[in-house]
Structure 1
Amino acid sequence: MEWHRFETTLARQQFAGDESIPSDVFDILSSEDARYTVYALAHDPDQTLSQLADFVVGFTAMRSGTITTPADHENVRIRLHHAVLPKLDAAGYVTYDRSSRTIEAAPRHDTVNAALGLAR
């Protein structure tokens, strides 16, 4: 699925109060890092923190037309590790193992993806 369609679907469902997506997931998706994360994990949920940070940094740079630095990667990695992934884990979207820094799909993964139009 293309990114623009994902954002349009998300906005439409948020505005309509779509109950197929739990409100905690909508809250999480308010951050750009989280939206990029869900988009990436919808296509490949079994990643490492570093792989996911690479995607988020690259996608951010592509969309903004900027060049990333190692500091950008580190800042995204820290935000994902301390904020985004723990919230997605608590929401049941992924399981995030903080010690090994690995991510796997959790029970709500497919349901949320389907509601967002991100089915694999």
Structure 2
Amino acid sequence: MGQDTQGTERTATRTMQDGRRRTGRPSNESDDLSRLFDVLAHPHRRAAFAVLRNGGWLSLDALARAVLARRDVTAAGDDRPPLATVRLQLHHTHLPKLDAAGVITYDAEDRRAVCTVENDTFGRLLDDVAFEEA
């Protein structure tokens, strides 16, 4: 990896099939993968997506309870966040981030969410993360 001529952004050097080397910005595929990792970085977002991908529209309250239940399975000790805290975190941070990534639709006014991802890469990545956490 190098820096561009202005020194502001990292660039990647790749070897082409004919042996020539090409320097350029990472591909959209790399950007997509980075975005997916970022979206899955928090356990509440992983739990929310896992719950939403198995059904239709869910209310914020039902989703918060489901996320808390999933987190209790993997969390050690009794330091789990209370339901009201999970609900607020989902509403203000995690569901908007999942929505912005295009994997769910969150209607903040009605406080309902549904899985809308069409690319199965996200689901497979979530499955791999869940396997590693178990």
Q: TM exceeds 0.5?
A: yes
1:48-91: CA deviations, max 9, x gaps? Answer: 1111100111122232355698x700000011001110011001
- The share of aligned pairs that are identical, in percent, is 30
Runs of 4+ residues deviating >3 angstroms: 65-69, 107-111, 114-118
1:89–1:96 Cα contact (<8 Å) kept:
yes
Which protein is richer in helix relative to its size? Answer: 1
Would you say 1:57 and 2:68 are equivalent positions?
yes
1:89 aligns with 2:99: yes
> Are 1:48 and 2:59 matched, yes or no?
yes
Aligned residues: 100
Root-mean-square deviation over aligned CA pairs:
2.8
Q: Distance in 1 between matches of 2:117 and 2:52?
A: 14
The whole-number CA distance in structure 2 between the counterparts of 1:31 and 1:115 is 14
Structure 1 window deviating more from structure 2 (71-80 vs 105-114): it is 105-114
**So what's the TM-score if we normalise by structure 1?**
0.67
- Counterpart residue identity of residue 58, structure 1: A
Contact 1:49 1:101 (8 Å CA) reproduced: yes
Unaligned runs of 5+ in 2: 1-28, 129-134
Q: Which has the higher contact order (CA 8 A, sep 6+)?
A: 1
Residue 109 of structure 1: how far off its partner (Å): 6.0
| Amino acid aligned to 2:94 | V
Three-state SS of the structure 1 residue aligned to 2:113 is strand
| Cross-structure match for 1:30 | 41
